[in-house]
Amino acid sequence: TPRRQDVVLGDLSAMLWHIRYGRQHDVVPRAVELLSEWMFVRERFACIGPILRHAFAAQALHEWLSDRCIACGGSGKLERSRTGSWIKPTGSMQRNAMFRICPSCQGSRHRATSPPERMQALGLTRVQYDAGRWSQRFNSARHYLDSLLAPRVYRPLTAELERRKRRV
């Protein structure tokens, strides 16, 4: 019989795939519950109470799904408009367009994290946030969510797609 942790991971990875690439946002509450349940087993998150763990899972999933920089739209650069202001690249293919690196994300294309937003979502003060090392916990959760789809979805999908590929 499969372990409960493996069942949770299988369901969670499928849901994350549907949410991110299928835009099925109606399953987000269930994905938050599964992520919270998974965190109960992990050593780094085991000491967190169930209510705080649920709020943390919701915020971590929100940050993972909303990972594109708002200022540049995830392109990593800004385009100078005809009026001289810097805007998201429009893709209008105008001749001699001028670009610069986005000052908000420094060209990384990812949304900058906001500790005040995290503290508000968790209901913590700055002292509690720093003492509990919550920024490291958020980084761990993000790394986990980034690596979750690779072994369970991408690798089998790539193997299946390459199976009938003719090698020269």
- Residues with Cβ within 8 Å of 10's Cβ and at least 6 positions away in sequence, in order, are 152
Instruction: Please give the order of strands across the beta sheet that includes 77-80.
Output: 86-87, 77-80, 99-101
Of 23-37, 57-71, 84-98, 149-163, which range is least confident?
A: 149-163
What confidence tens digit (pLDDT) does each residue in 12-69 have?
A: 888 888 898 888 889 999 999 999 988 887 777 778 888 899 999 999 999 998 888 9
Res 166: pLDDT: 57
